[in-house]
Amino acid sequence: MQRYRFDISYDGTAYVGWQIQPNGLAIQEVIQDAMERILCKRIKLHGSGRTDQGVHARKQVAHADISSSWLPGKLTTALNAVLPPDIRIMRATKVPQTFHARHSVRLKEYRYFIWNSDVMPPTKRHYATHMRQPLDAVAMQKAADYLVGTHDFSAFSANPKRHVESHVRRLERLDIRKRGAEITIIAAGEGFLYKMVRSLAGFLMRVGEGTVPPATAKEILASAVRTARVPTAPPEGLFLWNVTY
């Protein structure tokens, strides 16, 4: 068996998320179906992590063990020929059996896009969250600085309906960038809790609109309790941007 790594990009608008679920079509399922058409065998695809319904990926990483030895370039071309246009294999590479798309991750980067203007361009409606009220990016960065580091992020996660051993995570980076009407929240860490990035984005938007002062971030972290001060931001603004090994 040869292990292959796949760098995948997708528009998550039409899907229930990355992972196969009983309530709709998932990206993982679509790619596994394409592999079965090409390889005439059901292949299990292992992703670097889950993305929610409506969330996109500039770079998701997955691996699969395949018995026949395909040239990576030809395998990429064959899969893209049968995949829908909103999912693409950007690159396939042969990797050692020790590589694991999830367990070998060193850093994940997510980006959350906000369009902060009276009018939302229709071409951005699936790829950014619209906020009409002016946001204070400086205040948002002040709040973000309190959140960087190793903390119990219970207050910034949702119930995943599965056992989680620890809510402690290390947030390596949480930056706010503003270019014209576009505000980007950049979050990087080894791993994230369920809906953690969208929760961070929802809180930072509250700070930006002046509803919550930046220093409240410390109080919320210490409480380890989810409150209305931490809303979950809409999914369409979120991208899995990069995975580093």
The 3-class secondary structure across 122-160, one letter per residue, is HHHCCCCEEECCCCCHHHHHHHHHHHCEEEECHHHCCCC
Q: What is the DSSP letter of 231?
A: P
Question: What is the C-alpha separation between 79 and 116, in angstroms, rounded?
Answer: 38
Residue 86: phi, psi to the nearest 5?
-90, 5
> Is residue 65 annotated as part of the catalytic site, yes or no?
no
The alpha carbon of residue 189 and the mean position of all alpha carbons in its chain are separated, in whole angstroms, by 12
**Out of 7, 11, 33, 52, which one is annotated catalytic?**
52
Q: Are 8 and 56 in contact (CB under 8 A)?
A: no
3-state secondary structure of 189: strand
Hunting for tokens 């979950």 — which residue is that?
232
Residues involved in catalysis: 52
